[in-house]
Chain A
Amino acid sequence: MATEATGRLVKDAGNGGFVSKTAALVRKDLRIEARGRDTLPPMLAFTLAVVLLLAFSLPDASRLDRPVGLPTGGTLLLADVLAGFLWVTVLFAGLIGFARTFEVERDGGALDVLLLVPLDRSGLFAAKAVSNLVFVVTVETLLLPVYALLFGIDLGSGWAALVLVVLLVDVGFVCVGTVFSALAAQTSSRELMLPLLSLPALVPVFLAATELTSDLFTGAGLDDVAARGWFTILALFDVVFATAGALVFDFTLE
């Protein structure tokens, strides 16, 4: 008789469905993380360390539209600086997590077996991308309130728009990160390869993220922000990389 533990993992066994198998792989990743805590703690530690350092180093953030002098001359709005640092923090915290995408398979030699599972490889991609998305969203869920608190960011009704930006950024971010983590996993220097491969591809999505967030920090409404076209760029980026990721994942694992 199957134990309760088995039963939790074995749902709809025998259906052979794409969705149920993909969901089983996501549950597996999250369960392993809940027990091992190998991925989220380093992501969170990095995030909190950066935010604390910023809190001590940035000037008074009571006025986000205040110009900040640059060492090279010229000025920049404080909102731009904060938006940039916010997304740089998410970017590198995410890369820390993505580097471990296939470590759970590597630990027990399960990658070869996973490659023999009768499931379209786009299912493996979707499972890994969703797991990575959960990790990144968890970090952001803790990061954003702390960031707002420390830097006195009051978005008012702009929070909903910020959540939309975050979700759009995250989809593209995890799709790129998942594809390149699979490529990097095949190399001996994967910690080095992942940022080298993924950072160039991620420039557009984080550029859009910073522009949108900066506008929201300075009180621009959703309509004003949307009019600048960055939402369209993010949405296109998401569609392109989600589709490309699902299509090329087969080759990245070969």
Chain B
Amino acid sequence: MTAAPIRLSGVEVAFGRTLALTDVTLDLFPGVTGLFGPNGSGKSTLLSVLAGLVRPTSGAAHHSGGPIRAADEGWRRLVGYAGHEPGLYPALTVAENLGLWAQLFDAPVRRVDEMIERLGLGDRRDTPVRSLSAGYKRRASVARALLHEPHVLLLDEPYANLDDDAAAAVSAAVVEWRGPDRVGVIATHGAKKVKAFADAGIILKHGRVVSYRRGAEQLAEPPIATATPGSGA
């Protein structure tokens, strides 16, 4: 991998007349980057661009191996993604879901049990996902994204609906996943939780990067603007 495994250059994403991202230019380096900003600031869209699920209207998103596109099977192999929705089949149990995704992502079977243990899902492993609370679904979603030990981990609000213990389990799983050539991006309102272990922090506002700090700088970041009620996602 190069010094900047992921590079976005002038990325703009428009949904109809609405600009979700405007002129986003940044390099993402190995480590965990917190992605902060109020509702509607473009965090989820940026994660979708990084996953290759949304193609920029203009500008370019590249990784060290080429353009970022979900159509590229090589890129798909590298990515672990947990979006807004859990990405799990409601009729299947937690263990069945993780077992299925493990097979599809070429993860060894033992990872299913490891992630169930790591994320504190042991007492719900045979519960259908549709019967889980929102917090358990979130944990199962993070477990799914980590199953194949991806090189690029993209988590959208992984702390939503989690109590302190569950949030700590998620943080511990991400910290354990972190490696010298791995790039993680966590979009969250829970800035404090991510700042505890993040290597960099990005603040988005109205689809623009208003701050990008790395290393010790980001730890000194002032408190992130909280969500504005009713501002939309």
Number of A-B contacts (CB under 8 A): 126
B86 x A5 contact (CB < 8 A):
no
Q: For chain B, which range describes its interface: under 10, 10 to 19, 20 to 34, or 35 or more residues?
A: 35 or more
B73 CB-CB contact with A under 8 Å: yes
A154 CB-CB contact with B under 8 Å: no
B91 x A13 contact (CB < 8 A):
no
A21 x B103 contact (CB < 8 A):
yes
Chain A residues numbered 1-24 whose CB sits less than 8 Å from any CB in chain B: 1-3, 5-14, 16, 20-21, 24
Closest A-chain residue to B101, C-beta based?
A113
Please pick, from B48, B84, B108, the residue contacting A109 in the complex, using a CB distance under 8 A: B84
B95 x A108 contact (CB < 8 A):
no
Chain A residues numbered 80-102 whose CB sits less than 8 Å from any CB in chain B: none
B93 CB-CB contact with A under 8 Å: yes
Please pick, from A31, A35, A108, the residue contacting B86 in the complex, using a CB distance under 8 A: A108
B90 CB-CB contact with A under 8 Å: yes
- Residues of the A chain whose Cβ atoms lie less than 8 Å from the Cβ of B99: 2, 5-7, 9-10, 13
In the complex with contacts A107-B89, A109-B87, A113-B144, A5-B96 CB distance below 8 A: yes
**What is the 8 Å Cβ interface bit string for chain A, positions 238-254, against chain B (1 contact, 0 not)?**
00000000000010001
**What is the 8 Å Cβ interface bit string for chain A, positions 101-141, against chain B (1 contact, 0 not)?**
00010011110110111111100000000000000000000
A196 CB-CB contact with B under 8 Å: no
**Residue of B81, B101, B108 contacting most chain A CB atoms (<10 Å):** B101
Please pick, from A8, A14, A35, the residue contacting B91 in the complex, using a CB distance under 8 A: A35
- Residues of the B chain whose Cβ atoms lie less than 8 Å from the Cβ of A110: 85, 87-89
Please pick, from A1, A12, A31, A120, the residue contacting B73 in the complex, using a CB distance under 8 A: A120
Q: For chain A, which range describes its interface: under 10, 10 to 19, 20 to 34, or 35 or more residues?
A: 35 or more
**Residue of B87, B93, B107 contacting most chain A CB atoms (<10 Å):** B87
B70 x A6 contact (CB < 8 A):
no
Task: Give CA–CA (A118, B100) in the complex, Å.
Answer: 13
**What is the 8 Å Cβ interface bit string for chain B, positions 103-117, against chain A (1 contact, 0 not)?**
111111100110000
- Residues of the A chain whose Cβ atoms lie less than 8 Å from the Cβ of B126: 3, 5
- Residues of the A chain whose Cβ atoms lie less than 8 Å from the Cβ of B85: 108-110, 112
In the complex with contacts A112-B51, A116-B76, A2-B104 CB distance below 8 A: no
A28 CB-CB contact with B under 8 Å: yes
Task: Give CA–CA (A109, B145) in the complex, Å.
Answer: 13
- B105 CB to closest chain A CB (Å) equals 7
B113 x A1 contact (CB < 8 A):
yes
Q: Can you spell out 30 A-B residue pairs with CB atoms less than 8 angstroms apart?
A: A2-B109, A6-B96, A7-B99, A8-B96, A10-B103, A10-B109, A11-B103, A13-B99, A14-B107, A14-B109, A21-B103, A21-B104, A24-B100, A28-B89, A31-B91, A32-B89, A32-B92, A35-B91, A107-B89, A108-B129, A109-B86, A110-B89, A112-B53, A112-B83, A113-B81, A117-B104, A118-B76, A118-B77, A120-B73, A254-B71
Query: What are the nearest 6 A-B pairs in CB distance?
Result: A109-B85, A113-B87, A6-B99, A10-B99, A118-B77, A9-B99
Interface of A toward B, CB cutoff 8 Å: 1-3, 5-14, 16, 20-21, 24-25, 28, 31-32, 35-36, 104, 107-110, 112-113, 115-121, 250, 254
